[in-house]
Amino acid sequence: MSKNIFITGTGTDIGKTYIAGLIVKKLADSGRSTGYYKAAMSGNDRREDGTLIPGDALHVKTASGIDQSLESMCPYVYETAVSPHLASRIEGNPVKLDVVRDGFNQVCEAYDYVTMEGSGGILCPINFDGE
């Protein structure tokens, strides 16, 4: 079973991704098997091929030097730069709790230490429904 750290903050752009990257780097530099996870991220840019770049995951991966795939770091990546619950509605791709849970569990099985970053601020929902 992995050991897990959850990073949250009072709002967007408060430094969660920066701190997550430092923690993941420190753990990796100390020889620990470490991964990163975020349920949903919005406000992402597109590659030339049209696919979305999960910016927060890319930052953590680059800053820490871990080899975890970007695809395993975040199941929901949105272009619209609003909270994930609004972006998911606008883009027609609602966050499903079972997808988030399954992805997190897979990362936990692959790494001894997992740093999970919250989406938006501490009270920011990731979807509109009862989940």
**DSSP track, 66-116:** ----HHHH-SEE-SSSS-HHHHHHHHT----HHHHHHHHHHHHHH-SEEEE
Q: What are the structure tokens assigned to 9, written together?
A: 């903050």
- Residue 30, domain CATH: 3.40.50.300
Give domain status of residue 66, yes or no. Answer: yes
pLDDT in tens, 19-78: 999 999 999 999 999 999 999 999 999 999 999 999 999 999 999 999 999 999 999 999
Give domain status of residue 91, yes or no. Answer: yes
Give domain status of residue 71, yes or no. Answer: yes
Give domain status of residue 99, yes or no. Answer: yes
Residues designated as active site: 38
Give domain status of residue 55, yes or no. Answer: yes
pLDDT in tens, 62-95: 999 999 999 999 999 999 998 888 999 999 999 9
* Number of domain units in the chain: 1
Q: Which residues form the domain of 20?
A: 3-117
pTM: 0.91
Give domain status of residue 51, yes or no. Answer: yes
Give domain status of residue 130, yes or no. Answer: no
Give domain status of residue 123, yes or no. Answer: no
